[in-house]
A = this chain, B = another copy of it.
Amino acid sequence: MTESERTARAALSRLFEPQDAAGLALVQIAGAEDALRIASGALAAGAELEREMSRLLDENSQGSGWTGLAIARKRWAPRVPDLAPARDLATMQRLGGRLIIPADELWPRQLADLGLQEPICLWWRGIEQELPPADKSIALVGSRDSTSYGSAVTGDLAYSLAQRGFTIISGGAYGIDAHAHRAALAGNPSGSLPTIAVMAGGVDRFYPSGNEDLLRAVANQGAVLAEVPPGSAPTRYRFLQRNRLIAALASVTVVVEARWRSGALNTAHHAETLGRAVGAVPGSVHSANSAGCHRLLREGGAVCVTDAGEIAELASPSGEALPEVRAGRAAVQDGLTLEDLILLDALPLRTTSSVEKLTAVAGLSADSVRAGLGRLGLLGLAESHGGGWKRSGTAG
């Protein structure tokens, strides 16, 4: 039964554009196999089914575009003659890949958070291995025309996160995406899955062509995924839909560099909608490629992230992956009382000063000065010479 469902979903992924609300509602209510029969016109649908679809779409706030099954069928009809799921599955097998569906063990459970927008299936190029759960996955996304700053930061973050055992999710594009995949491949210490590229078009073709070698390496060591079948062109619409998959696979989406208007912000908004953490890397206010990150920090719920530790912290807010403690070099005088700080300020650096003189300079009683000098002495901040006092640790 799973295999016939797999074949049905393979066909449906060609029939429906990603996130076709009516199609996804039909699958949820009728199951994939009957959904395919109904969508392709081989099986009639009763009024009850249509009412159920309408109800489900309303529940998911998708009811506004719903104009009935007949209209949806007219939309799907032109593609029915092109359906060839067995051919598509064979193509994937030849490429060393497979198709996974929600019923599979290997299906990433975190995609269920997409609700009705969960993809029908995933076309997967790469060796069969366990895909990481959300809390081990971090999306790094950003501009295609990355600056040297963005490239360097992406490389540092991806390498360091991969070293910590995180899988880096990105979109396989030029710029930030490519740097993220490449550094993750380099940083992966063991046999765990270093990086996943989620494509907007079919995984039979490595797109863009300039990233062909990189994406081949991602497929060999990681995974290349898409919800659209082999041969599908990466249209703008599919890029926007693909972004929801990147956001849903990861527990944290980090925008490293993005212009004021950028597809990476779309991924960040998907992550926010899913209740996932969003990080934004700050940069120069003079760099147009950081304007989108700063926009997220101002307008969105994005957290300012500057290193891998801060990102890992977002991935497990429970504290499992606390960032290394920043070497803050706490100055010893930080713990002083106000009076002792005033006294310390009053102590000369080179010559010594009498208690009497210190009372006037510091504006403290003689008792307070004597007690304070004792405390500062214990801390190694003051020392006495021939009845006078000076600061410690300075030439005298």
Contacts and interface: CB of A to CB of B under 8 A. Distances in A.
Q: Which 6 A-B pairs give the minimum distances between C-beta atoms?
A: A282-B282, A74-B365, A235-B345, A78-B359, A297-B304, A285-B306
Contacts of A76: 363
A342 B342 CA distance: 70
21 contacts: A16-B363, A65-B338, A74-B365, A75-B363, A75-B368, A77-B365, A78-B365, A78-B366, A149-B286, A152-B286, A233-B345, A235-B342, A235-B345, A236-B341, A237-B338, A237-B341, A261-B329, A261-B331, A281-B285, A282-B283, A283-B285
A364 interface: yes
Q: Identify which of A153, A346, A365 gathers the most chain B CB atoms within 10 Å of its CB.
A: A365
Interface string A323-343: 000101101000001100110
Nearest to A239: B345
Contacts of A260: 326, 328
A186 interface: no
A385 interface: no
Number of copies of this protein chain within its complex:
2
Contacts of A235: 342, 345-346
Interface SS majority for chain A: helix
Contacts of A71: 365
A290 interface: yes
Given A294-B304, A294-B306, A365 B281 contact: no
Interface in A153-185: 153
B261 A282 contact: no
